[in-house]
Structure 1
Amino acid sequence: MNQYRGFTEKNKAKKKKGQVPIRLNILFISVFLIFSLLIVQLGVVQILNGQEAQHQINQAENTPTEKAVPRGKMYDSNHQLILDNQAVKSITYTPPKNGDTAQKRLEIAEQLADYITIIKDEKKLDKTIRERDKKEYWYLQKQDRVHDLLTAEEREELSKSEEYQAELDAITVDNLAEIDWTPDLKNVIAIKKELDSAKELSPHIVVNDGLTEEEYALVAEHLNDLPGIDAVIDWDRKEIFGETLSSFFGKLTTSEQGIPSENSQYYLSHGYTWNDRVGTSGLEQEYEHILRGRKEKVKYSTDSNGNVISSDIIVPGERGKDLVLSVDMDFQTEVDKIVEEELKTAINNPASNSGYLEDALAVVMNPQTGDVLALSGIHYDKEKKEYLNQAYKTIYDAHEPGSAVKGATLLAGYQEGVVDIGSRLSDRAIKIQSTPKFSSHKYLGNSISDLYALEESSNVYMARIAIAIAGATYQENKPLYNFDYSAFNTMRNYYSQFGLGIKTGIDLPFEATGVTGANPAQGNLMHLAIGQYDTYTTLQLAQYVSTIANGGYRMKPRLVKEIREPGNGEGQPGNILEAFSPEVLNRVDMDEKYIDQVQEGFRRVFTNGTAANQWRGFPYEVAGKTGTAQRTKYKTDEDGEPVKVAETENLSLVGYSPLKDPEIAFAIIVPENGTGIGRHQVHHAIGKRIVEAYYKMKNNLDSQKEED
């Protein structure tokens, strides 16, 4: 009995022990099946849906973008703020990654139109909304009828874009008449046009100009209901001194224009976005890389639908670096006042006003450093009867200056060896066959010296130099024998050493070089020698006289002296990052004694010569040269023939002060004056007042330094 019971218990133990592996096997099999299913599912995702899955991941990724910052400011030479930034409230739209649909943008525009009107002038609004804009709106509103616009056969061979265009073309005037095009609806369409212009994840300004405080506040209050819309602060330029020097500050593109399309690749490769504002002229363009600053970099997080769900600043923005200019704005303002007042006097003087007189131009610079001290151009608008500040003409407009260039002509003669210090020539009029008689403003004698030729502005002396440079032999009323036409190039090469006929190198993106006469007739070489053939800008003339004033060094004109860190908000620029040293472009290829001789001739012009009557008793030392260029005005008659209608004269004056180590050089051109007796000597009046204003400014600055 006991044996039986022991046997039974052993069997039960064995049976129980055999059941454990079966359960484990079932568990292992279940786990295996589950992992197998997961592996199969992963394979399906990877092989069949991998691209779509990656697309979803990409949509949810973090995407960086950048926001513009205020541009650098500009200060004058005394650190007086002259170009600032002005905060402008703006409404922006940032499309999600991969963009919004046109229907979605319309919905946003309809919501936004409840709070803002982006074009408040109805006439301007009507011009803004084109027929295509109306057709696009009809297209979105009449989706149930779009399919009927084209037949199946018409659609068959069209691409998607061609099909869309064909559908728009098929929308008729009667179709458009189904909609009441109210001002409110046009406002919606105008807003949508701005939304359509935005690039993905790049803030686009929908409106800033004319945005009211109430509109800005309403949008800011409802941002949660306006996907992609933000109320932000944009920046515009504020010119502290109005029009004074503004043409040299330059212009910026608008946010709507963005970067210029013709240079888009350049800008994009340098970190710009499509709607960035950039300089398109003047200092804004020349120093764009300095003024632009470091943009604020923002990381946007988007959901799987591409909507922005959060943003974080990963690189703080920093406004652009500041520029310190060479110009003293108080002096610049005074020069503008002087030029305008003297131009008014000339225009109101019947003997001065030829009927064509409308401009007066002046450039002032430091001949030792090339620093531009003032650029002034005043234009009289005859129709509006207004005097306008057009200082850009000092660099972009070129004129025949007349005898002001005779210093360069005499130096060319010295260097070519056709005259020397003390050389005497006859001032008797020159008559070349088939050309008008060539004479000075009066007969100066049969044997005049080089200094006297400058002092009294002998045309004939300079013409004889030109003939000698050409290697020609002169006989009265006959052609010049053995005339070497390369003399035109020889003389222009000498002129170019002073900056005449070539770029001065000023730190601006563009400057004119004047017009080179194209008719190499023998008589024109003589006119070239007295400044009545090629044309030059006022800045070129200022560089020319500066080169003579400083002993033969052509200095590069500059408007910017320093680049500085952004200021601390107290109206002063920050620390110096870069100070520009004076730059010598070239040393004229002439013996120093010859330059000294011309300097002496220029001194005599103001003490005994053609400028003496106007400058007698002037309290400051001044040397320089006067110039008068005859200009004949023509009109075309009924037969197409030119008919002379008036004789005018360009009046010019170049000079410097003081005689030793000169601090100021100036050039003045007043084109198209009358020729009457008793006319206003506008160029001399401007010159004297500019020199007086300079010394007054200098004395004031010296007094301030002593007080400090």
Structure 2
Amino acid sequence: MKPSRRSLFRTRRGSSARRASGSGSLRNELHDRSNFQLRLIVALLLVVALFCTLFARFFWLQVLQHDRYMTLAEQNRISLVPVSPPRGLIRDRNGVVLAHNYSAYTLEITPSKTADGLDATIERLNQLIEITPKDRRRFKKLMEETKDFESLPIKFRLSDEEVARFAANSYQFPGVEVKARLFRQYPQGELGSHLVGYIGRINDRDVETLKDNGNFANYRGTDHIGKLGVEQSYEAQLHGSTGFERVEVDSGGRAIRTLSRTPPQPGRDLELSVDIKLQEIVEKLFDKRRGALVAIDPNTGGVLAFVSKPGFDPNLFVDGIDPVSWKELNESIDRPLLNRALGGEYPPGSTFKPFMAAAALQGDFPLVHQTIADPGYFMFGNNKFRDSKPGGYGSMNFDRSIALSSDTYFYQLAVQMGIDNIAKYLGEFDFGRQTGIDLPGERSGVLPSPEWKKKRFKKPEHQKWYAGETVSIGIGQGYNSYTPLQLAHATAIIAARGTVYKPHVVNRIIDPVSGKATAVEPQPQRRIDWKPEHFERVIKGMQGVNQYGTGAKVFAGAQYTSAGKTGTAQVFSLKGAKYNASSIGERLRDHSWYIVFAPVENPKIALAVIVENGGFGAQAAAPIARATLDYYLTGKLPAAPGEKASGAAAASAPVSEPAPEEPTGD
């Protein structure tokens, strides 16, 4: 039976629908495939880009930055350990060692690394190694002064047994270790302590100073620095240059082996101009008395002896002085830490007169050509200025005024010169300013003038200069105030007939490796351009002091010619009363001065000596000066206590009371 037309139409329409449906599915499939391929390409490009970025990064790190990261990697296992240099030695002019180094073990604690607290750690350490109360006090003081440092010593100079005992138990003490260090030692002890000085632990103030000076890096691994004297002023030469070691360490920071070493450069040695034997003799002459002596070679400015009494033991400061010892030194009524030689300022008394005389000659003031009557006092207005000799010396001229120390003569000379001329001429001898010696802490003293007084005082009524004040200036009293170094320096200028050398205590700086020495050449700073005959006339008057004047008894029988001047400086005003040493306290008595140089014709030594509260200049200071010259010029040793000696009988021990004979000046 044949299909109808309608059924055929339906059949064809169904086939067309099926064909249309199949075509749509194909298009969808092609579209999906196209999208997938696009996503695949994008993903592939992204992967390629990431790999390129990763490769570029690897290339940057492994090739371009290889050296940098290799260094960083090495630093994870390599530590740079600073190696402190050996400090230079200090010797006197004859090679005697004044400061040197020795090696010893110390027990050190890093407070931040202690496991069970600092106090508990110290207590447990004490059961192993004795930690004395002095060790604890010193450690506490170091902690207060050196907060920025990692490890601090609590026990010095460990014995081999103590080192072995700690090594066997070190695992129980994190933050505690034994270190081998170089220690400074001063074999002469108290002798020359203010000259040599000492080193001490670097504190926060020192750190700031080193940073400001750009020297901090050179002190890595160094714990000490010069604090006083030559140790401080020549720190740059004595310290040397720090080295370092490249050390391989494990994960715990413990050293495994040393890979390389850059050795430190040792500090330079110093050879001083000082003769330590002369220094020793002078210090023994002072005994327990307070005072100072400075001796200078007038031909070079080299310091031959530099004494300040009492002194101290510099070894106390090397390990960090404990509070008890510090208190004893700091609060002592004798002030042993005061460097009297360049930091003590005293009225010069009559030792000022030779310089006044030289100034008067140069200014050609009338009195230097005149002879005056000396009744034992000088009237200025309604004020009576007394002479040291009651009744006076009668007739007095220029030469005798120096030899006999006539106050009356110099009262009148001061008034005639006036304060402005005194300040002008005396300034030529470096009074009132620092000498420039190569030691720290020098004071400038006071050379009074109206300008100085205006700066010194604030109230207008105190700033005015009164004519009566000039009178006292003429005999070294009033506002006059100088150091023993300044008096010795000025005396050396007269001895050199006006040639001025800068005082110095170091002769040579020596490289310990090459042995090459650099000399401190004695170059004159300047000349006082005064007439030579003026110096000679003053020197003649100073010779008279030791021939027939106030120092004649002490210098009797000397084997050399000398020119000196005694001086007695008041500690407080007598207000017109007569001086009587036995009626006042010892520390209120006059200071005893003496200046001298010898031999006159070819000076080799000039010195100034002061004995605090020693009385008349000829009583205490002059004998010390005589014994000093005897040893330096002739090799004669001073007499032992109780032994009779010629000339300088009083040199070896203090005299309790003066027994003045004519002349009776100071």
Query: TM-score higher than 0.5 here?
Result: yes
Q: Give the counterpart letter for 1:595 in structure 2.
A: F
1:452-491 correspondence to structure 2 within 5 Å: 452-470=400-418, 487-488=419-420, 490-491=421-422
Amino acid aligned to 1:431: M
Query: Structure 1's 454 and 70: CA in aligned 2 closer, same or farther, altered over 3 A?
Result: same
CA-CA distance at 1:290 after TM superposition: 0.6
Tell me the amino acid that sits aligned with residue 508 of structure 2. E
Give the conservation status (yes or no) of the 8 Å contact 1:375–1:391. Answer: no
Of 494, 512, 517, the residue aligned with 2:425 is 494
Tell me how far apart the structure 2 counterparts of residues 306 and 390 of structure 1 sit (CA, whole Å): 44
The aligned residue for residue 651 of structure 2 is: none
Q: Does 1:550 align with 2:491?
A: no
Pick closer, same or farther for the CA change 1:527–1:196 going to 2, 3 Å.
closer
> Quick one: which amino acid aligns to residue 662 of structure 1?
P
Aligned match for 1:602, one of 529, 539, 542:
542
Q: How big is each residue's C-alpha offset from its partner over 1:332-391, in whole Å with a ceiling of 9 and x where there is no partner?
A: 111211222xxx6xxxxxxxxxxxxx5232222211111111122334999999999778
The equivalent residue for 2:627 is 689
Q: Is the 8 A contact 1:258 1:276 kept in 2?
A: no
Counting only pairs closer than 5 Å after superposition, residues 93-132 of structure 1 correspond to structure 2 as 106=115, 120-121=131-132, 125=136
Matched residues in 2 for 1:88 and 1:209: separation? 8
Aligned-partner residue type, residue 131 of structure 2: K
Q: Is 1:529 aligned with 2:483?
A: no
Give the letter aligned to residue 630 of structure 2: E
- 1:395 alignment counterpart: 342
In the alignment, the residues of structure 2 paired with residue 694 and residue 93 of structure 1 have an alpha-carbon distance, to the nearest angstrom, of 51
Cα gap change, 1:240 to 1:45, in 2 (>3 Å): same
Question: Hey, what's the Cα distance between the residues in 1 that align with 2:467 and 2:362?
Answer: 21
Aligned position for 1:560: 506
Would you say 1:504 and 2:435 are equivalent positions? Answer: yes
Counterpart among 366, 370, 373 of residue 301 in structure 2? 370
Q: Is the 8 A contact 1:77 1:324 kept in 2?
A: yes
| Contact in 2 for aligned 1:93/1:198 (Cα 8 Å) | no
Name the counterpart of 1:332. 279
Alpha-carbon shift at residue 233 of structure 1 (Å): 2.1
Does structure 1 retain, via aligned residues, the 8 Å contact 2:146–2:202?
A: no
Deviations 1:146-200 (A, max 9, x none): xxxxxxxxxxxxxxxxxxxxxxxxxxxxxxxxxxxxxxxxxxxx99x9999545x
State the alpha-carbon separation in 2 of the partners of residues 309 and 437 from structure 1. Answer: 83
CA distance in 2, matches of 1:307, 1:264: 30
Q: Is the 8 A contact 2:592 2:615 kept in 1?
A: no
The range that moved more, 659-668 or 216-225, is: 216-225
**Counterpart position of 2:606:** 665
Q: Write the letter of the residue equivalent to 2:488.
A: A
The superposition leaves residues 617-668 of structure 1 with CA deviations (integer Å, 9 ceiling, x where unpaired) of 3332111111122333799xxxxxxx99797322211111111111111211
Identify which of 256, 276, 280 aligns with 2:227: 280
- Separation in 2, partners of 1:631, 1:221: 64
State the match for 1:479 in structure 2: none
Q: Which aligned pairs between 1:263-342 and structure 2 lie closer than 5 A?
A: 263-266=210-213, 268-269=215-216, 271-273=218-220, 276-300=223-247, 311-340=258-287
SS at match of 1:688: helix
SS of alignment partner, residue 612 of structure 1: coil
What residue is the counterpart of 2:592 in the other structure? 651
Structure 1 residue 603: deviation in Å?
Answer: 0.9
Matches within 5 A, 1:65-76: 65-76=81-92
Match of 1:249 in 2: 196
SS in 2 for 1:367: coil
* Partner SS state of residue 565, structure 2: strand
TM-score scaled by length of structure 1: 0.66
Give aligned-pair identity as a percent: 25
* Aligned counterpart in structure 1 of residue 485 of structure 2, from 532, 539, 544: 539
The amino acid of 2:535's aligned partner reads: I
Deviations 1:11-36 (A, max 9, x none): xxxxxxxxxxxxxxxxxxxx999986
- Does the Cα contact within 8 Å between 2:82 and 2:221 map onto a contact in 1? no
8 Å contact 1:73–1:83 — kept in the other structure? Answer: yes
1:85 matches 2:101: yes
Aligned partners of 2:84 and 2:219 also within 8 Å: no
Distance in 2 of aligned mates of 1:422 and 1:327: 42
Paired AA for residue 522 in structure 1: A
Within a 5 Å distance, the mapping from 1:81-230 to structure 2 comes to 81-91=97-107, 106=115, 120-121=131-132, 125=136, 198=149, 204-209=151-156, 211-220=158-167
Q: Secondary structure at the match of 2:282?
A: helix
- CA drift at 1:311: 4.1
Distance 1:120 1:450 in 2: 70
Distance 1:644 1:280 in 2: 38
SS at match of 1:253: strand
Q: Does 1:413 align with 2:424?
A: no
Per-residue Cα deviation, 1:374-413 (whole angstroms, up to 9, x for no partner): 1223349999999997783122112112111111101111
Quickly say closer, same or farther: Cα 1:390–1:603, change in 2 above 3 A.
farther
1:275 offset after TM fit, Å?
Answer: 5.1
Where does residue 8 of structure 2 map in the other structure?
none
How many angstroms apart in 1 are the aligned matches of 2:101 and 2:263?
Answer: 19
How many Å separate the matches in 2 of 1:128 and 1:250? 22
> CA 1:684–1:499 in 2, change beyond 3 Å: closer, same or farther?
same
Count of equivalent residues: 546
Q: In 1, distance between residues paired with 2:146 and 2:601?
A: 65
| Contact 1:497/1:586 (<8 A) preserved | no
Gaps of 5+ in 1: 1-30, 95-99, 131-189, 345-357, 471-486, 568-573, 636-642, 700-708
Find the residue that maps to 1:613 and give its secondary structure. Answer: coil
- Measured in 1, the distance between the counterparts of 2:518 and 2:274 equals 17
Check the 8 A contact 1:404/1:626 in 2, yes or no: yes
Residues 556-609 of structure 1, C-alpha deviation per residue, up to 9 Å, x if partnerless? Answer: 111110011227xxxxxx724310111323322421110111011111111122
Residue 532 of structure 1, CA deviation: 1.1
Distance 1:409 1:378 in 2: 29
The question of whether the paired residues in 1 share the 8 Å contact of 2:195 and 2:306 is answered with no
> What are the superposed Cα offsets for residues 192-224 of structure 1, whole Å, 9 maximum, x if unpaired?
x9999545xxxx454452534333234556779
Specify the structure having the higher radius of gyration (Cα). 2
Task: Return the TM-score normalized by structure 2.
Answer: 0.70
Equivalent pair of 1:60/1:306 in contact (CA under 8 Å): no
Task: Write out per-residue CA displacement over residues 643-702 of structure 1, whole angstroms, 9 at most, x where no aligned residue.
Answer: 997973222111111111111112111222457xxx982222212211111124399xxx
The one-letter amino acid paired with 1:242 is G
Contact 1:427 1:440 in 2 (8 A): no
Aligned partner of 1:607: which letter? Q
Offset at residue 465 of structure 1 (A)? 2.2
The 3-state SS of whatever aligns with 2:606 is strand
- Separation (CA, whole Å) in 1 of partners of 2:611 and 2:550: 17
Partner in structure 1 of residue 23 of structure 2: none
1:449 aligns with 2:458: no
Residues 241, 264 of structure 2: 8 Å contact kept: yes
Q: Tell me if the contact between 1:118 and 1:211 (Cα under 8 Å) persists in the aligned partners.
A: no
Per the alignment, residue 638 of structure 1 pairs with none
CA RMSD of aligned residues (A): 4.5
CA contact (8 A) 1:376 1:391 kept: no
